[in-house]
Amino acid sequence: MAKAAGDDTVHDEDRYRLLVNAITDYAIYMLDPEGRVVSWNAGAERFKGYTPAEIVGQHFSRFYTAEDQAADAPARALAQAATEGRFEMEGWRVRKDGGRFWAHVVIDPIRSPEGELIGFAKITRDLTERKLAAEALRKSEEEFRLLVEGVVDYAIYMLDPEGRVTTWNLGAQRIKGYRPEEIIGGHFSTFYTEADRAAGAPALALAIAAREGRFETEALRVRKGGASFHAHVVIDAIRNDDGALLGFAKVTRDVTERVVARQALEEAREALFQSQKIEAIGQLTGGIAHDFNNLLMAVLGSLELVRKRLDYDPRITPLIDNAIQGAERGAVLTQRMLSFARKQELTFVAVDVPMLVRGMSEFIERTIGPNVEVSLRFPTGLPRVHTDPYQLEAALLNLVVNARDAMPRGGTITITAEPETRADFAAAVPGEAAFVRISVQDTGEGMDEETLKRATEPFFTTKGAGKGTGLGLSMVHGLAEQSGGRFGLISREGEGVTAHIWLPAAGAEAAANVASDAPARTPGRRGLRILVVDDDRLVLTNTVAMLEDLGHSVIAAESAKEGLEAARRDLDIDLVITDEVMPKMSGSQMAGRILESRPGLPIGMVTGYADLADQGRRLSLGLPRLGKPFTQEALASFVDQLMLAEAEPA
């Protein structure tokens, strides 16, 4: 038997009602046109806490918060649904127990076939968990944003895939100098140097970050205004869940101080290494110069005796003279080497600088030639300086020759001196000049920065091969240091060079011992019995020959031990001449032991090598010194000096 159509409709309505009532994840219920609840499903009961008996017939506004009720939100929701055909929103709603939940609400109007409003269908979904998660995420993002924006030691900002700035924190503003409104939207290549931009460095950095996920480097970057700084840069690629590139996160730190400190440390290490290297070279140079000095002593002395004993022969005598001049030049070189190594024993006296320079001015003019003019400027009342006059002459001559060589087309050399207090050298006496600064200035080509740094290095020279030893300025530096002063150079390319030597002003005691240019008186004493001690057989043979040629009787000893034995055995010895630097026992040590048994016996030292311990011992014994290499005339004068001082206290 066939069913009537009305029966099918009833059955469909029942099925829909059963379906709606079974849904628990959504509150689905009906409202009449005034907003009163007319149906209530299981989901509504679960969300809102009301049973159908408690809520059907009640106005739906009770689900709204007090604030929304006061703002007439329920009525406006129904009005919008009625006029626009739909109302949808998210907001807080209230359960039966007063608790709140975040709801997604849809209200649809229900109309009769004739279009008459007969009520509303209302669907509510509880999205509290999603809302809380979103709120937590928002709060976390806000906190992170505040954290990033608050960081001032790092520039942290975002770039879009093309490299345009999209965010800007306080650190970026502090480090790079741009305010957000000045840089957001601009390209990050603004921060690169012109050279880096021309080389395509910004695009390369983004390409590496996009390909490998990260780019990191240290390089120069540019602040607003053009000033550069050393930066440590990290660029990370940012991608979505599908792997699409969204942009880049860029972190920049100003590491200028660290880089400068690292460079300073490296320079200090290099300076220490250079100092150690120079010290090692100095030790080696001093030893070589000492041995070479002894060789020159033998060569010069022997040549001098040969020339003295041979009649003039135009074929031989000039060759001997030439050999003597070559040996003398070698002696000058050894003096420079010993001065550089600070093994050249200086004779400190009070030196009148203007008098010394004027005394050598004629020699200077002959040395530098006609194309260079020499100007001397000295103030009146300039204090004397405490140094070795002969070494000071050599130092000034070195500086003058260097100045001449820097002016191949001629120019002017100005030598000046003036008193100066240098508290960084030594404690200055109030009202007195602690130092005298001697300056040699030229109008030559000057030096670049790199050459100026290396100018005083041993063996460094800008002259051609065979035209310079590279020891001249080192020798000047050594003299200044040994005298208790300083040496310095000032120069720029095209502005010439000014060399300064600071020497300590002579005190009252030193002033009493004034350098004199008067030649020493040589009575030419003969017939003495002399003990000569030297561990170098060449030097010993040469010295013995010189003394015998002067008419003396000589006892030779090749070691300090032999010298002691000879002095004890032969009581007729009139004086002793000994080398200082000898193995096992130095000359001054031997002299001290001889004087214990024979006080008053004249003893003189011959040496070109200054060892601080032996030098102090020699000075404490009051032993005169003759520097190597020496001529026969100087040796004769030294013998006379020793004998004249025999009766005088040390």
DSSP for 571-625, please give it.
TT--EEEEES--SSS-HHHHHHHHHHHSTT--EEEEES---HHHHHHHHHHT--E
Cα separation values, 241 from 157, 207, 250, 388, Å: 21, 20, 20, 84
Arithmetic mean of pLDDT over the chain = 80
Question: Which 3 state secondary structure label does DSSP give 386?
Answer: strand
Euclidean distance between CA atoms 28 and 104, whole angstroms: 12
528: Cα within 13 Å, side-chain hemisphere: 21
DSSP-derived secondary structure letter, 165: B
438 in Cβ contact with 499 (< 8 Å): no
221 in Cβ contact with 235 (< 8 Å): no
Work out the average pLDDT over 43-56: 90
What per-residue confidence (pLDDT) applies to 395? 84
Q: What angle do CA 644, 391, 542 make, to 5 degrees?
A: 55
Q: What is the pLDDT of residues 356-404, one digit of tens each?
A: 888 888 778 877 878 889 899 999 989 999 888 878 887 888 888 888 8
Work out the average pLDDT over 608-618: 52
Work out the average pLDDT over 296-307: 78
Q: What is the pLDDT of residues 539-572, one digit of tens each?
A: 888 889 889 988 999 999 999 999 999 998 888 8
Euclidean distance between CA atoms 367 and 540, whole angstroms: 36
Q: What is the pLDDT of residues 235-277, one digit of tens each?
A: 999 999 889 999 999 999 999 988 888 888 887 777 666 656 5
Where do the H-state alpha helices sit in 102-255?
128-150, 170-176, 180-183, 194-198, 201-212
Confidence grade of residue 14 (pLDDT, cut at 50, 70, 90): low
Q: Which segment of 200-204, 319-323, 436-440, 570-574 scores lowest on mean pLDDT?
A: 319-323
79 in Cβ contact with 120 (< 8 Å): no
Euclidean distance between CA atoms 552 and 533, whole angstroms: 15
Q: Which segment of 134-138, 467-471, 637-641 scores lowest on mean pLDDT?
A: 467-471
What per-residue confidence (pLDDT) applies to 460? 47
Which region holds residue 591: left if phi is over 0, alpha if psi is between -120 and 50, else beta? Answer: alpha
Burial 593-611 (b: 16+ CB within 10 A, else e): ebbeeeeebbbbbbbbbbb
Cis amide linkage into residue 629, ω under 30° from 0: yes
Confidence grade of residue 185 (pLDDT, cut at 50, 70, 90): very high
Altogether, the residues listed in the chain come to a count of 650
Euclidean distance between CA atoms 626 and 578, whole angstroms: 10
Q: What is the pLDDT of residues 449-507, one digit of tens each?
A: 776 666 655 544 554 433 444 455 777 887 788 888 888 888 888 788 898 999 998 87
Question: Which 3 state secondary structure label does DSSP give 504?
Answer: strand
What per-residue confidence (pLDDT) applies to 288? 61
pLDDT at 427 over 70: no
DSSP-derived secondary structure letter, 119: E
Q: Give residues with Cβ within 8 angstroms of 618, minimum separation 6.
A: 580, 587, 588, 591, 605, 625
pLDDT at 593 over 60: yes
pTM, to two decimals: 0.41
626 in Cβ contact with 635 (< 8 Å): yes
Confidence grade of residue 650 (pLDDT, cut at 50, 70, 90): very low
pLDDT at 443 over 50: yes
Euclidean distance between CA atoms 351 and 394, whole angstroms: 14
What per-residue confidence (pLDDT) applies to 470? 45
Two tokens at 424? Answer: 């960084």
What per-residue confidence (pLDDT) applies to 19? 58
Instruction: Say which amino acid occupies 86.
Output: R
pLDDT at 346 over 70: no
pLDDT at 413 over 60: yes
